[in-house]
Structures are given as C-alpha cells and as structure tokens.
Amino acid sequence: MYYEPGNIPHGLKHDPFKSCVVPRPIGWISTVDADGNHNLAPYSQFQNVTFNPPIVMFASNQDSRGGRKDSVRNAEQVGEFVWNMATWDLREAVNISAQELPPEVDEFELAGLEKAPSRLVKPMRVKRSPIQFECKYLNTLRFPGNGPMGSADVVFGKVVAIHIADEVLDADGLVDIVKVRPIARMGYFEYTSVDSKFSMVIPGDQRALLGGLEGSPDKVSMELNKS
Ligand SMILES: Cc1cc2nc3c(=O)[nH]c(=O)nc-3n(C[C@H](O)[C@H](O)[C@H](O)COP(=O)(O)O)c2cc1C
C-alpha cells in the first residue's frame, strides 16, 4: 500500500505511522512547577540526541484542548526535568501517570510511587525506577501542526547527573538491560519490552568510531590522541 499523510489517505482502519517507528523508548518525565506541584508523564517521542555532553529530548503534542502539556511548561518554568526508566515492573504506574489531569494533581501519588530527591535538580525521581537522568533544560523547538493536538514542543535537556541502581550492573560494569527490562511503545495500544539482546561490532577496527558507537568520550579521545 502507499499513502501520503494529509494528501492521499491510507484507507486502513487505524493510522499506521506510529506503528512503523518502533520500538520507541519511553521518556518517563518528572517535573515540578514554580509552586512546587510535582508532575510525572510518559513520552514515547523521546531519544538521546548526543553523548558528549549527553543530551536528551522529548516531543510533546498539545493536550486535547490545544494547550501545552504540564511537562513542557514545568521544564521551561523551572529549567529542569528528570528522565526515569520505564520498566516492565512499573508498566501500570507508567500508564496511570499518562492521564490528562490538572497541574495540581501529583501523578507520583496517583500511581502510588515513592519519590526520591534529585541531587542537582528540583524535580523528584521515581524511586523504584532503576535508572534516572537529572537534566537541565536547554531549549524548546516548536513544530506547528494540524488540529488541536498536532503542534509539537520538542524539549531538549542536558543530562547533568545519572543514577543507576547497583543491582542492574553486571560483574563487567555493563548495564544488564534484560534485568532492567525497559518497556517501549509501538503502534496502537501496543508495547514491547526488552527481554533479549544481541551484539555486533562495526567491521574495520576503527576505534574512535567504535568509541562513539559505545558513547564513550574517553575512548574517543584516547584513540584520537594516538594518531
Ligand atoms: C507510553 C505513553 C507514551 C506517550 N508518549 C507521548 C508523547 O511522546 N508525546 C505526547 O505528547 N504525549 C504522549 N503520551 C501522552 C501523555 O503522557 C499525556 O498527554 C500526559 O497527560 C501528559 O502529561 P503532562 O501534561 O503532565 O505532561 C504518551 C502516553 C503514554 C501512555
């Protein structure tokens, strides 16, 4: 089949676009507003952008009334946000925290989640989540879109602190991702979770390239200093 979004209809019962960009990691974003109201919401339009320094982004559409979402407003207002790893064990809490609610409703409480204070930023961390990034807000890119929800605010933040639970580090100091079991969004109301993995290395033994692939600034500099 072939279609052109907004031009030639797909003719299917459900729009296939989001089910083609899969699996999407979930940015489970915690923020706080200037009055101290805590907020937590999942964003599957989430990614790391670069690694030195580490920068992440989440893309927020507008809410059903066409307004900017709490996570965006709070990140801009306070200049900080936290990313929490969404896991299989926490899937129900992730889902509960996605409800569209007034800013004064604390989704940590709604989902029965204990908060953990951050070290360098004001927003709280999800204590049970095995990995969290403390982020300083950088900027927002706004993409105008169609209908009340179409416009997107893409929020970028620099990762200034990273927490990883010792239990999910293996004997070699690698994050044991199958043990973490992240959940990821697919299309429709479908999700997947990471319960297997495989490795492969770019051929050619180009060490700086491999350092970049690993996301290790130290290895990149070491290799480039050799030449
Ligand atoms: C797994 C999951 C992923 C989501 N991803 C996004 C997303 O990428 N962008 C978005 O605008 N809304 C997304 N949503 C919906 C938001 O979580 C929802 O609008 C939430 O109420 C926003 O909360 P906030 O206003 O407190 O920021 C997602 C929902 C779920 C359950």
Q: For position 124, which CATH number holds?
A: 2.30.110.10
Contact indicator for 52, 147 with CB cutoff of 8 Å = no
Strands 46-51 and 54-61: antiparallel
- pLDDT value at residue 100: 97
What is the pLDDT, as a whole number, of residue 186? 98
> In DSSP terms, which residues pair with 152 in a beta bridge?
61, 143
Mutate to test the pocket of ligand 1, among 32, 33, 69 (most ligand atoms within 8 A of CB): 69
Distance CA 4, CA 15 (A): 12
Q: What is the pLDDT of residue 226?
A: 84
- pLDDT for 164 equals 98
Nearest CA to ligand 1 atom 9: 60
Q: Which of 60, 104, 107, 109 should be mutated for ligand 1, with most atoms under 8 A from CB?
A: 60
State which ligand 1 atom lies nearest to the alpha carbon of 72: 27
Q: Is the CB of 44 under 6 A from ligand 1?
A: yes
Q: Identify whether 91 is part of a domain.
A: yes
Per-residue pLDDT, 141: 98
Sequence-ordered strand ranges (E) for the chain: 24-25, 27-32, 38-43, 46-51, 54-61, 80-84, 115-116, 125-126, 131-143, 152-164, 183-185, 191-193
Looking up tokens 């003719």, which residue turns up?
A: 11
Find out whether 107 and 96 touch, Cβ atoms under 8 Å.
yes
Report yes or no on 9 lying in a domain: no
Longest dimension (CA), the chain: 57
Is the residue at 221 inside a domain? no
Q: What is the predicted pLDDT for the residue at 223?
A: 85
Does the C-beta of 84 come closer than 6 Å to ligand 1?
no
> What's the total number of domains in the chain?
1
Residue 216: inside a domain: no
pTM for the predicted model, two decimal places: 0.96
Asked if the structure places residue 212 within a domain, the reply is no
- Low-confidence residues of the chain, pLDDT below 70? none
Q: Are 224 and 218 in contact (CB under 8 A)?
A: no
